[in-house]
Amino acid sequence: MNAQSSVPQRRRRQADRREESRERILDAAEALFAKAGFEAVTMRQIANASEVDTALIHYYFGTKAGVVDAVLERRATEVNERRAQSLEAYAKSHAGRMTGPGVVRAYLEPTFSFILDGRPGHRHYGSLIARLNSAPIPEEIGHDSSPFDAVTQRFVELLKDVRPDCDTADLYWFYHLLSGAITLSLAQTGRIDFLSGGLCDSADAATILERMCEVFGKGIEALPPARAEDR
């Protein structure tokens, strides 16, 4: 092998090592953020957990805010794709005959199948989403927008197609309450386990999904129509 042919191979190996280091940093940060929250975790802790120097983290992500953004966006792309594909597939296959329960299930199923599929990284991400939805990220770390905003808006649009008689604000309130149920479910606090005396399991994703589809599917149908003067 001559020197010229070995150069591309060395570059590929270097690129692979960089990508491995980057993923290791994101995995470590994801687990730490899931356990302790965004604000409590330090760059030094992320460096120690990923076995790299803090300088490398700064090189890849700049600041802690950059790490947070990268952690959230890494899996958001796949979650968003799954949600968007599910919603569009349902809208296409049920054109002119969509139902509230159908739209709710099309939105929820890909979320639960991805985040609660048993893989540690996905479960950590579920905890992060619970934190993101339940408390504002400190100003020095985060921002008001979410990587899930576009898919959420599409969900509300489909709800509007199903319930055009509803006040638009009520549809956003509906999403707000649904989001709260998703957040509590992803947090897996164990509270329902205790209250129910073991009848319910906060880690039983399949049952949670079915109950949410039933409750919120009926809930969208039960929303009152807008008053005539508000239409």
Taking alpha carbons only, the member of 155, 128, 144 closest to residue 67 is 128
Q: pTM for this one?
A: 0.77
d(CA 125, CA 222): 32
Residue range 147-177, pLDDT digits in tens: 788 999 999 999 999 999 999 999 999 999 9
Tokens standing for residue 211: 């109950």
Between the alpha carbon of residue 175 and those of residues 30, 154, 221, the distances in Å are: 26, 11, 13
**Banded model confidence at residue 146, pLDDT cuts 50, 70, 90:** confident
d(CA 190, CA 203): 8
d(CA 80, CA 119): 18
Residue range 29-73, pLDDT digits in tens: 999 998 888 888 999 999 999 999 999 999 999 999 899 889 988
CB-based contact 223:134 (threshold 8 Å): no
| Amino acid (1-letter code) at residue 43 | M
